[in-house]
Amino acid sequence: MSFFNKFSGEFIDIIEWLDPTQNTMVYRFERHNNEIKNGAKLTVRESQIAVFVDQGRLADVFVPGMYTLNTQNLPILSTLKGWKYGFESPFKAEVYFINTKNFTDCKWGTKNPVIMRDPEFGPMRLRAFGTYAIKITEPTKFIEEIVGTAGHFTVEDIADQLRNIIVARFTDTLGESKIPILDLAANYDEMSKYIHQRISPEFNEYGISLTKFFIENVSLPPEVEEALDKRTKMGIVGDLSKYMQFQTAEAIEKAAESNSEANAGIGLGMGLGMVNQMMNQMNKQTTQDNNQTTQNITPPKLPEPLQIFVAQNGKQTGPFTDEELKQLISQGALTRQTLVWKAGMSNWAPANTLAELAQLLQSVPPPLPPIG
């Protein structure tokens, strides 16, 4: 190999990146102090973006495709380098490959329990976890805000920051929603969509798009879950005394199937215990029935007599009882338009507006029409 060939081999003429990992977001093309020569080939594959950086300043951006590097497709870098009529000598520039694919199955979860007030159980401590997916949508912003000068940047490098944002917004949303603990599972989908919309703008500030967000589970402390399981069992069992009778009857049946005298004695003892328990239950039920019967024998309170005041000749008269009102009606002293009043009324009203008098007045014929 001649000296010229060896010297020219030090210059990079093929720039590409094959990602062997599943979590690399940004990769800086390693040059080993070599320079890029004029006419070098740049290959940007699907789900990649290539960004050229000159002395810390962002320059040209390349979308997927194959390029021959020259001043026509490096306009910004040409300006920064001062190439007015093209360049012949090699140049140095940092090349960053940005992975624009969806990074799925990213985990989030609460480091410490979230305290909230449940309307049924009172103060509770909850933990939650789930998954989300992200992708880089603004490569230059992502490099400026997050990557900086790092030559290799992975999802794990930003996971803690994103998780802190998610947990903070999740905690706030959970407290504001006031959803009962027993109803949280039925609202995972709605809460996931709401939190997704709420935190997306914060991810966008880093040049990242939040493509998916899911709440997988909201859990209680183990001791609370154990107490809740016991409560659920009690609800399934229902009447505890009947459940005990059923258990005892099953035990007697199993003892009877055995030929052992010892088991027979045990079965007899359990049978006697069951009889005593049933007798106690029957006595208790009989006492309750007797108490209920005694309560039913007691007569209800007698109704209070009707007392109504009647306006006669502009004066208040009464109060009158039911029989006295009948006499006034028969005498014509109490008609349908006569003003009356009783306890509970705010003003005097015609007699036919009171339900008590309406029935009495129905037996009195209306006044005769005028003759002629």
pLDDT at 254 over 80: no
Average pLDDT, the chain: 80
Report pLDDT for 119: 82
CATH label of the domain that carries residue 345:
3.30.1490
What mean pLDDT comes out for the span 332-344?
82
Q: Which domain holds residue 108?
A: 104-131+153-221
- Domain assignment present for residue 366? The answer is no
pLDDT of residue 100: 94
Does residue 48 lie in a domain region?
Answer: yes
* pLDDT-derived band at 331, boundaries 50, 70, 90: confident
Q: What is the pTM of this model?
A: 0.58
Contact 59, 53 (CB under 8 A): yes
* 94 shares its domain with 109: no
Q: Which of 141-145, 189-193, 270-274, 305-309 has the least mean pLDDT?
A: 270-274
What does DSSP assign to residue 111?
S
Q: Is 145 a member of any domain?
A: no
Average pLDDT over every residue of 313-329: 81
Domain presence at residue 350? yes
Asked if residue 228 is part of any domain, the answer here is no
Looking at the fold, whether 113 and 217 belong to one and the same domain comes out as yes
Q: Which residue is listed with tokens 């140095």? A: 92
| Tokens representing residue 331 in the block | 């005498």
Judged against a pLDDT cut of 50, whether residue 162 lies above it is answered with: yes
- Would the pLDDT of 288 be above 50? yes
* pLDDT higher than threshold 90 for residue 104: yes
What confidence score (pLDDT) does residue 199 get?
A: 94
Task: Say whether pLDDT at 155 is over 80.
Answer: yes
Q: Are residues 72 and 12 in the same domain?
A: yes
Secondary structure (3-state) at 52: strand
**Per-residue pLDDT at 5 exceeds 50:** no
Q: Identify the DSSP state of 353.
A: G
pLDDT score recorded for residue 175: 84
186 vs 133, more confident? 133
Q: Going by C-beta distance under 8 Å and a sequence separation of 6 or more, which residues neighbour residue 195? A: 166, 169, 170, 173, 213, 215
Burial of 45 from C-beta contacts in 10 A (0-12 / 13-18 / 19+): middle
Better pLDDT: 101 or 256: 101
pLDDT of residue 2: 45
